[in-house]
Amino acid sequence: MFTGLVETIGTVAALEELDQTSTGGGGTSLTISAQEILGDANLGDSISINGTCLTVTEFDKSTFKVGVAPETLRRTNLGSLKKGSPVNLERAVSASTRMGGHFVQGHVDTTATIQSVTPDGNALTFRFKPRDPAVLRYIVEKGYVTIDGASLTVTKVEDGPEGWWEVMIIAYTQEKVVTAAKKPGEDVNVEVDQVGKYVEKSVAGYFEGTANGEFAILEKMVSKLVDERLKTVGK
């Protein structure tokens, strides 16, 4: 679990498509240079790389290695990284972490393409078009969305097959995340707010009669709201 508050920007030291070492597992591996976050590192730790939760398989004082599964390569933009590419990094939350962003799983839903970057004073407004338009139902104005691992607030949404959304990146954040330097046509990793998914499944379960105990609290909330609404309509 992460907060979406990027701790530092690291650099890709190596990307191996067929890493046959014991820490590469015979698949794709990434080695990241990031001395700032490795002081308390342990093997098996989770670190978010551009919003993707990955497991540390090897590390030293200045670099760490992670394996990248085929599903991760299909779902994210990590496969397009090259040696020297900057990446957003965040360690998993601890008991003392302040939740300044929102609950981020590090499970990327899809990628999105930057449609435009528009200056607004000292801020930048980014417009994104998702590869999978279905995620737009989870994106609402003033809600959260995770872009390359950074928790950002949605400022505008346009639904539909050609839909998009916008976020504004303030001057301070521009210096702390890789997204601010990206240009139209480049891709970003996207994770939508997980609460929307749970609510959707709970509501669907309520109306289909297939709800189970996993979402009992939400089911009770939805049931109460629906019943109250039906009583109001019936009057």
Task: For residues 87 and 32, give the distance between their C-alpha atoms in angstroms, rounded to a whole number.
Answer: 9
2 catalytic? Reply is yes
The residue annotated as part of the active site, out of 28, 29, 34, 53, is 53
Tell me 198's DSSP state. H
The residue annotated as part of the active site, out of 69, 134, 181, 216, is 69
Task: For residues 229 and 100, give the distance between their C-alpha atoms in angstroms, rounded to a whole number.
Answer: 35
181 catalytic? Reply is no
The residue annotated as part of the active site, out of 14, 21, 62, 107, is 107
118 catalytic? Reply is no
Residues 6+ apart with CB under 8 A from 194: 103, 105
Residue at token pair 């540390």: 56
Which residue stretches of 19-105 are H helix? 70-75
Q: Identify the bridge partners of residue 28 per DSSP, sorted by sequence position.
A: 68
55 catalytic? Reply is yes
102 catalytic? Reply is no
The residue annotated as part of the active site, out of 116, 118, 153, 223, is 153
The residue annotated as part of the active site, out of 8, 46, 63, 97, is 46
Burial class of residue 121 in the structure, from the number of CB atoms within 10 Å of its CB (0-12 exposed, 13-18 middle, 19+ buried): exposed
Q: Which residues are catalytic?
A: 2, 46, 53, 55, 69, 107, 153
